[in-house]
Amino acid sequence: MDLSIVIPLFNEEESLPELAAWIERVVNTHQYSYEIILIDDGSTDDSWSVIERLQQKNQHIKGIKFQRNYGKSAAMNEGFKAASGEVIITMDADMQDSPDEIPALRNMILEGNYDIVSGWKKKRYDNTFSKNLPSKLFNKAARSMSKIHLHDFNCGLKAYKKKVVKSIEVYGEMHRYVPVLAKWAGFRKIGEKVVEHRPRKYGVTKFGWTRFVNGFLDLLTIFFVGKFGKRPMHFFGLWGTLSFMFGSLVFIYLTISKFVFDVTGLTQRPLFFFAILSMIIGTQLFLAGFLGELISRNSIERNNYLIEDKIGL
């Protein structure tokens, strides 16, 4: 199969028929063999019955329905698992991403030999203050932490080689950082293509202001997990040991000053409490590192969803 189009959606009943028709028009023009995988992330509107109806008309459409809303990352992860095309394209369901970009993205993967091509919404049709400006900041931070030179990490429209999506696991809210996850997995050829962005036609945005808080926390997670996820002891152990040793040295100094130089009132000196604090913090950090090591050895299944229903699969 040439192409899998993976579309996570949450309450997008109005957009779906139009979106499906548009995608069909594009892939038929180019005569791709394809599948459209629609992942209903626990919608509370009629999205799933719309998907069922679309599936009856077109056997290339496949649907996965979550029992409840697990988030875009979870939906993408399930879509990736189900996808069987040589090239996998992800896009949003709200028609802010244009299906007309599909052929060019696919060509970049196949002919340009990219592992990932990420869309860049150079001209955005979103609110300047609630989205565009914060997103500029966010992308700058993501760029400097991940060392991947993308202008627009969070663009829903992206294309992947099959083996990329089969080797990564998107969980939590990591859908913003799929290129970073891919880079960790060892895929280094990451490209970018300016894509057309359109105003949202139906419905409302599913991510409020919390996106920025969560986005930045996830960025820290990404950074930390990337660097020390597999070896927490190297971070916590190091700082824990240093802090403990520092505290001990101060204690030795205090002891000497009492017994050798006869300075009294040991417990009245700020340094005394500082030494205790430093040793306690050191022990805590060391312990955190040790527990981290134990946990990372017993890593559990993070992606365990309850899938209510599947069609066409």
Site of interaction with Mg ion (CB under 5 A):
92, 94, 96
Q: Is 94 in the site for ligand UDP (CB under 6 A)?
A: yes
Short-list 308, 254, 265, CA closest to 52: 308
DSSP for 36-50 reads EEEEE-S-SSSHHHH
Interface residue with ligand UDP, options 171, 207, 228, 305 (CB under 6 A):
207
Site string for ligand UDP, 54-73 (x = CB under 6 A): ---------------x-xx-
Q: Is 4 in the site for ligand UDP (CB under 6 A)?
A: no
- The smaller minimum CB distance to ligand UDP, of residues 94 and 152, is found at 94
First-last CA distance in the chain: 14
* Cβ–Cβ < 8 Å for 85, 4: yes
Dihedral sign (CA 166, 22, 123, 39): negative
Q: How far is the CB of 97 from Mg ion (least distance, A)?
A: 8
- Quick one: what does residue 215 bind among ligand UDP, Mg ion, none, with the CB cut-off 5 to 8 Å set by partner type? none
Q: Dump strand ranges (E) for 148-252.
A: 158-161, 190-194
Q: Is 174 in the site for ligand UDP (CB under 6 A)?
A: no
Q: Is 27 in the site for ligand UDP (CB under 6 A)?
A: no
Q: Which amino acid is at 30?
A: H
- Quick one: what does residue 97 bind among ligand UDP, Mg ion, none, with the CB cut-off 5 to 8 Å set by partner type? none
38-66 core/surface letters (b: 16 or more CB in 10 A; e: else):
bbbbbbeeebbebbbebbeeeebbbbbbb
Q: Residues in the site for ligand UDP, rule: CB under 6 A?
A: 8-10, 12, 41, 69, 71-72, 75, 92-94, 96, 156, 205-207
